[in-house]
Amino acid sequence: MEEKLYSIHHRRLRLGKRIRELVNPFRISHRNFIYPLFVDESLTARREIEHMNGICSETRETVFEAISSTLASGINKFLLFPIPAKKRKDHFDFSFAADLVAELKQSFGDGIWLATDICLCSYTDHGHCGILNEKGDQVLNHESVKVLGEYAYLLAKAGADCVAPSDMMDGRVGHIRQQLNAFALEQVTIMSYSAKFSSQWYGPFRDACHSAPDQSLGIKDRKSYQLSPLSSRDAVQCALRDEAEGADILMVKPAALYTDVIWSVKQKTNLPIAAYHVSGEYASVELMAAQGVVDRAKAHLEVWAALQRSGADIIISYAAPFAKSWIENYDF
Ligand code: PBG
Ligand code: ZN
């Protein structure tokens, strides 16, 4: 008889919608979401990114409208990816990105919190995240960090609230912090892509940014700078290193396949952790939803719940504009 009582005990708290609501709070709210924005200098009209169900690359003009409609959904934090029209090997021209940041902050002010991705892969003609050696078989760390520092400084000066280095070079967080502080920009936040894995799940993004690595060179992938999917140890070490160098927010990316990494980093730091549910992860949910395999809203909510459980404080998602209404109406 006693056994029966125990087995009933667990279901009592799941029996109805109200009791589930009471005991299963969704602790992450739409306030903790960041929405990625792509702005492509070469476009004359907004362009839908393949497999991304409605996510577009914006033009310098349409981005204002995109931000306004996202604001109406309750999301006011953005991660900007400026995509310049001209690709080069070095001596990059950052003026498109800097002017864009300045215009956006002039127009929206404190109405938006604007983070900008700091990387070179949408600037380089070979698609790598840094500067290559003569031979074209290695990404040069020191040279790349110098340029990234310059880029971060220019965007911070233009008014970015946050710079988010995603290149995975060693020492870039420390260098960027030093640059910002030297020019009285110490109030600008650094959100470091600390644990960024070399992943299959960035496909749609690379299409949007025209940043897939050139296959005719000696170096054909990002494995010499992005983390191996097998190494959570490397991820934790990079996160702690970035914290020591002055990062304010640590990111894990991709998110849903790396919840163990979010958890491990969480155990070692008190900094806020951002989880980036990347383009391929978003696309996989959207493709399944389109085929009727899953319910779109519920599938995204379940991913977000996983990220919350594992310790994410911030979620970067292409579905962010739906977060408010989906979370409000959730029933787990
Ligand atoms: C580039 C960068 C990538 C993403 C953000 N910044 C991809 C890459 O390394 O090629 C991925 C974002 C996404 O897939 O949504 N440094
Ligand atoms: Zn890059």
Sign of CA dihedral 90, 93, 98, 103: negative
Q: What is the mean pLDDT of the chain?
A: 95
Q: How far is it, in rounded angstroms, from Cα 120 to Cα 222?
A: 13
Closest by CA position to 225, among listed 149, 171, 279: 171
- In the structure encoding, which two tokens stand for residue 18, read together? 């109200």
pLDDT mean over 307-332: 95
pLDDT mean over 113-121: 97
Q: Flag whether pLDDT at 190 surpasses 90.
A: yes
Q: Flag whether pLDDT at 2 surpasses 60.
A: no
> Is 86 part of the annotated catalytic residue set?
no
pLDDT band at 5 (very low <50, low <70, confident <90, very high): low
pLDDT mean over 192-216: 92
Task: Give the pLDDT score at 4.
Answer: 61
Hey, what domains does the chain have and what are their CATH numbers? 28-328 (3.20.20.70)
112, exposed or middle or buried, with CB in 10 Å at 0-12, 13-18, 19+? buried
Place of tokens 């006011």: 76
Q: Flag whether pLDDT at 198 surpasses 90.
A: yes
Q: Flag whether pLDDT at 105 surpasses 90.
A: yes
Q: How far is CA 8 from the centre of its chain?
A: 43
Task: Give the pLDDT score at 11.
Answer: 87
> Is 89 part of the annotated catalytic residue set?
no
pLDDT mean over 245-264: 98
Closest by CA position to 115, among listed 33, 46, 236, 50: 33
Rg for the chain, CA atoms, rounded: 21
pLDDT mean over 35-46: 97
pLDDT band at 210 (very low <50, low <70, confident <90, very high): confident
Sign of CA dihedral 230, 270, 144, 117: positive
> Which of 57, 139, 278 should be mutated for ligand 1, with most atoms under 8 A from CB?
278
Q: Flag whether pLDDT at 211 surpasses 80.
A: yes
State whether the beta carbon of 205 lies less than 6 angstroms from ligand 1: yes
State whether the beta carbon of 49 lies less than 6 angstroms from ligand 1: no
pLDDT mean over 27-44: 96
Identify the active-site residue in 253, 266, 268, 324.
253
Q: Flag whether pLDDT at 7 surpasses 80.
A: no
What does residue 134 show for φ and ψ, rounded to 5 degrees?
Answer: -50, -50
At 141-176, the pLDDT tens digits run 999 999 999 999 999 999 999 999 999 999 999 999
Q: How far is it, in rounded angstroms, from Cα 259 to Cα 315?
A: 12
Closest by CA position to 257, among listed 175, 177, 298, 196: 196
Q: How far is it, in rounded angstroms, from Cα 195 to Cα 275?
A: 10
Task: Give the pLDDT score at 331.
Answer: 82
Q: Flag whether pLDDT at 82 surpasses 70.
A: yes
45, exposed or middle or buried, with CB in 10 Å at 0-12, 13-18, 19+? exposed
At 122-135, the pLDDT tens digits run 999 999 999 999 99
- Amino acid type, 64: F
> Which of 51, 119, 317 should be mutated for ligand 1, with most atoms under 8 A from CB?
119
Is the pTM higher than 0.85? The answer reads yes
Report DSSP state, residue 108. Answer: H
